[in-house]
Structure 1
Amino acid sequence: MSNPTGRPRDARIDDAVLSAAAELLAEVGYADLTVAAIADRAGTSRPAVYRRWPGKAHLVHEAVFRDGVTAGAPRTGSFAADLRELVRRTAELLTTPLARLAVPGLIAEAATDPVVHRRLLERFSAGGWRGLDATLAAAVESGELDAEVDALVILEMVIGSALAATLTRGPDGLTPDWVDKTARILLDGVRPADYGAAP
């Protein structure tokens, strides 16, 4: 995260604040989490926290979804396997104990805070999954993927499926079987392979 004042960032404070935010989120939940409590737990001041993050949502977002979480899109050599792995990683990402506590609050705040909204989009966009464009380009080159398919649309379908499933099934419902079935539908659609074939 950039520092608007231009002063060097102290990584020790950053790490202490992010760790404190994660610990307190697990203890009290998103609604009761405060920047003051995070600063106290981290052994720093509220102004020091606000110099780094504009508010609670921005801080929680970074604490829950560290930069390395979505680094590196899957590249197995098979687009079907890559897609399944993308579904699996997304399900895992959105059902960690911290994500279960944070995501509802972050979604609510994103509806009114354009900066939070942008950060969430960046996290879950094709740019957030570094290397995804290359994965999809390779699949187009091999004939496994239609060149007209948009990376962002794929991600919207994957992430939307995972979010909806956590609501309807609960986080524990995103099982390997759910991952397999969801990936198959995303890959092949919902029609039978022989649909429309001549009798």
Structure 2
Amino acid sequence: MTKDLGRPRNLSIDGAVLSATVDLLNERGYAELSVDAIARAAGTSKPAIYRRWPSKAHLVHAAVFPIGAATTLPDTGSLATDVRDMLRRTVRFLSTPAARAALPGLVGEMASDPTLHSALLERFGDVLTSGLSGLLAAAAERGEVRPDVTAGDLAEVVAGMALMGVLARGGELDATWIDRNTTLILKGIGTGKGSGT
């Protein structure tokens, strides 16, 4: 039996750092954000931050895109309704002031560091592998989706459409945009039998 000899992690530091990161992103933007400034605002140290997150990009991702109720997948028994809700919630997730401030920098960092994209996707691993895979399996049984469509495929399509929409169009994407792009997704992954909008 192994024994953990380290000190228990102080969760109040985590909360203070994440909150300070969001506040400073809103004030300064991603490019002007530094781990030094975050540590000062959170009342902690840079080493304490780097023990928790390996880089500024990882920290910003955790602060701006928390895993919680907003990432719980819908399961209404209708693929069309589920995909529409996923797209709507993803757009809302990406449209917060902190997300808008962070996205250009995060996209740039992922382009220059291919390992970062994989590491960030790992944060949502449970959502993708258990929740979304189960939703797709049920939809395949109902004849709504092709059996070769994976959770990763659907997650990338939903996130990609939402990201490009938010970055390219600036303001909030309305219900018409959500409906049109839901239809496009469903036509791409559906069997044509039971996946109508």
Place the TM-score, normalised by the shorter chain, in its bin. Answer: 0.7 to 0.9
Task: From the superposition, tell whether residues 71 and 159 of structure 1 become closer, same or farther in structure 2 (CA, over 3 Å).
Answer: closer
The CA distance in 2 between the partners of 1:129 and 1:164, in whole Å, is 24
Shift of 1:179: 0.5
Question: Cα RMSD between the aligned structures?
Answer: 2.2
The CA distance in 1 between the partners of 2:19 and 2:82, in whole Å, is 32
Task: From the superposition, tell whether residues 79 and 50 of structure 1 become closer, same or farther in structure 2 (CA, over 3 Å).
Answer: same
Which structure 2 residues correspond to residues 46-61 of structure 1 after superposition, within 5 A?
46-61=46-61
Output one character per residue of 1:101-157: Cα deviation in whole Å (capped at 9) or x when no partner: 111101111223344322332346674475111111111111111212222222222
Correspondence 1:9 to 2:9? yes
SS in 2 for 1:111: helix
Mind listing any 5+ residue stretches in structure 2 that lack a counterpart? 193-197
Which structure 2 residues correspond to residues 23-62 of structure 1 after superposition, within 5 A?
23-62=23-62
Residue of structure 2 in register with 1:151 after alignment? 151
User: What is the letter of the counterpart of residue 121 of structure 2?
Assistant: L
Residue of structure 2 in register with 1:92 after alignment? 92
Residue of structure 2 in register with 1:181 after alignment? 180
Q: Which 10-residue stretch deviates more, 66-75 or 76-85? A: 66-75
Q: Greater helix share, 1 or 2?
A: 2
Q: TM-score, normalised by structure 1?
A: 0.83
The CA distance in 1 between the partners of 2:23 and 2:130, in whole Å, is 28
Q: TM-score, normalised by structure 2?
A: 0.84
8 Å CA contact 2:73, 2:132 repeated in 1: yes
8 Å CA contact 2:133, 2:150 repeated in 1: no
8 Å CA contact 2:75, 2:135 repeated in 1: yes
8 Å CA contact 1:71, 1:130 repeated in 2: no
Output one character per residue of 1:29-66: Cα deviation in whole Å (capped at 9) or x when no partner: 11111111111111111221122222211111111111
The CA distance in 2 between the partners of 1:12 and 1:120, in whole Å, is 23
Mind listing any 5+ residue stretches in structure 1 that lack a counterpart? 194-199
8 Å CA contact 2:20, 2:42 repeated in 1: yes
Identical amino acids, percent of aligned pairs: 52
User: What is the letter of the counterpart of residue 58 of structure 1?
Assistant: H
8 Å CA contact 2:71, 2:127 repeated in 1: no
Output one character per residue of 1:172-192: Cα deviation in whole Å (capped at 9) or x when no partner: 2x1111001100121135xxx
SS in 2 for 1:41: helix
